[in-house]
Amino acid sequence: MPEARDRIESQLVELMNDYERPIYNFLLALLHDSDVALDCAQDTFLRAYENLRKGRPVNAAWLYTVARNRAMDEFRRNRKLQTDIDTLEQVPMHEHPDRALAVRAVLEQLSPADREVLYLFDVAGFKTDEIGAMLGIKGSAIRQRLSRARERFRVLYGAEA
Amino acid sequence: MNEHDRLREMLARRSELTPGEETQLQEHLAGCDECRSLHTVYARQAALLRSLPAVSAPPALRAGVLAAIERKKRPRRWVLPRYLIPVPAAAFVLVAAVLAYENRPQGAPSHTALTRITAPVLTQPATTGVRRGKPTAVPKPRRTPVTRRHHHSTPLPSTPQGAPPVVAVGPSPAGTQASQSGPVQPPTTSATSLPALGTPVVIAVRSPVTTSRRQPPPTAPAVSTPVHAASTRPPTATAVPTAAQLGSPTPVSASGPPPTGTPTPSAPQPPAPGPSPSPTPSPTSTP
């Protein structure tokens, strides 16, 4: 029994090594609140641990799905999820700091549905059918949503620029 | 959805197009300037999103997860609600009381045994009551002090009210207990206060019985013989004190050596105050 528990913990640590940062950034992009994103990420990995204990597999899609649902719960609770200035300040400045801030500002203005589709497709690298499976909707609906989100992003980014 | 809209949707997800879809899109882009410019915008947009600097996850994330797992691994402590604390306390007291009762010294009679003693004694003359007591409930030797007390308590009617109890001077617990029945105890024994043999004893029975429950089992049952002598029954094989013996304190004290090592109500006592005619030790005193 202790060996199985250690094995599950080692699996969880491997998952966290691979997805701790992406999941946290995904939640940060969705929620724009570092504290709430931290809570959601912790819940995500704790649920992953419980899933592993039950002998069920946990992969990236599962983690993003749980994280996304957890973020949607936060939205449903009408929590005040506004841009966290500290979150923006902790973004490391690279060679184009203004552009990165502009992109984040545009993402912030998008709806959570558009935001998550863009993030999952461009940043996380999921296919539209996979995103549809994660969100529980058809891949064709995700493709339409992605097209609309790109168009809105283009408009908003043009105004920011 | 027309062909143009379908191809714009393919532009939005170009990274996942199949080779057939990519070929179809290339053919359309070759003849559509609007879609070509849009293709450039979408490609830059995806590059912008991918180039977003990722924030490092705070250390609290992993620490919190691992700490929560550790908490789950630990067995949950069972905490008794505060309002339930008296329950185990009362149970403990009850169990302790039962154990103490069960492990009480063998010499101490049980409550039921005392009841069996007192019940017949209170309703019958002392001799019959003592005789008819259940042998299983009360050891026979323990009745001897009863009869001894009875023997000396017979002059109760003539006892002055201020007379101190006989056993009040004894240092033993039995003597202390006997002091509770002091008013019915006779004063220090003297020859004048002793009744004659054959006097029925009825009134003084209760006091000796209650006194006897604290008395240790005597070793010599000879003291009971005066009581039998007082009744109409023939004396037993034990020595029957003579009237001369009863007239002096010595016969009772000579009735047998007191139990060694056990406190007796007949311990040496100081002279009893009051109307005791003589400062001699009480009849129950041991030599």
ipTM above 0.85? no
Identity of residue B267: A
Of the listed ranges A20-24, A54-58, B85-89, B222-226, the one predicted with least confidence: B222-226
Selecting from A91, A107, A143 the residue whose C-beta is nearest the C-beta of B55 gives: A91
Residues A64 and A109 in one domain: no
Q: How many angstroms separate the CA of residue A78 from the nearest CA in chain B?
A: 24
At residue B163, does pLDDT exceed 90? no
DSSP A38-73: HHHHHHHHHHHHHHHHTT----HHHHHHHHHHHHHH
Choose the final residue of a domain: A82, A109, A141.
A82
Tokens (6 digits) for B106: 């063998």
Cβ proximity of B176 and B198 under 8 Å: no
Which tokens go with A135?
A: 């969100």
Residues A121 and A103 in one domain: yes
My answer on whether A42 and A59 are in the same domain is: yes
Whether residue B70 is predicted with pLDDT greater than 50 in this model: the reply is yes
| A78 & A109 share domain | no
Residues A118 and A63 in one domain: no
Give the orientation angle of helix A139-160 with respect to helix A97-109, to 10 degrees.
130
Q: Does A67 lie in the same domain as A128?
A: no
Same domain flag for A72 and A109: no
Same domain, A1 and A78: yes
| Residue where one domain finishes, among candidates A23, A47, A82 | A82
- Which residue of chain A has the CA closest to B12? A147
What 3-state class would DSSP assign to B248?
Answer: coil
- Measured between CB atoms, does B63 come within 8 Å of chain A? no
Tell me what percent of the residues of chain B surpass a pLDDT of 70. 34
Helix, strand, coil percentages (3-state) for chain B, rounded to 5, are 55, 0, 45
In sequence order, what DSSP letters do the residues of B259-274 get, joined into one string? PTTS--TTS--PPPPS
Q: A77 and A11 in one domain?
A: yes
Enclosing domain of residue A161 = 91-161
Instruction: Examine the fold and report which residue of A60, A82, A104 is the final residue of a domain before the chain moves on.
Output: A82
d(CA A72, CA A51): 20
Q: How many CB atoms lie within 10 A of CB B76?
A: 7
A41/A98 same-domain check? no
DSSP 3-state percent helix, strand, coil across chain A (nearest 5) = 80, 0, 20
Together in a domain, A100 and A67: no
Query: What pLDDT, in 10s, does the model give residues A110-125?
Result: 998 999 999 999 999 9
Q: What pLDDT does residue A47 have?
A: 95
Residue B119, CA atoms < 13 Å, CB-side half-sphere? 11
**Assessment of whether the complete model's pTM goes beyond 0.90:** no
Chain A residues closer than 8 Å to B45 by CB: 122, 150, 153-154, 157
**CA dist., res. B116 & res. A144, Å (int):** 100
Distance from CA of A150 to the nearest CA of B (A): 7
What does the angle CA B145 – CA B148 – CA B149 come to, to the nearest 5 degrees?
A: 90
Instruction: Identify the pLDDT of residue B75.
Output: 67
Say yes or no: A65 and A44 in one domain: yes
Contacts of A24 in chain B (CB under 8 A): 55, 57-58, 61
- pLDDT tier at A136 (50, 70, 90 boundaries)? very high
Instruction: Summarize pLDDT for A4-56 with one digit per residue, the tens.
Output: 778 888 999 999 999 999 999 999 888 888 899 999 999 999 999 999 999 99
The total number of structural domains in chain A stands at 2
The conformation of residue B107, written as its DSSP 8-state character, comes to T
Average pLDDT over residues B141-153: 48
Of B8, B58, B68, the CB nearest to A147: B8
Question: A42, B12: Cβ pair inside 8 Å?
Answer: no
Above pLDDT 90, what percent of chain B? 12
In the block, tokens 């204990």 appear at: A53
Buried/exposed A145-159: b ≥16 CB within 10 Å, e otherwise? bbbbbbbbbbebbee
Q: What radius of gyration do chain B's Cα atoms show?
A: 50
More reliable by pLDDT, B112 or A48: A48
**Type and span of the H or E element at A32:** none
Which among B82, B257, B284 has a CA at the least distance from the CA of B188? Answer: B284
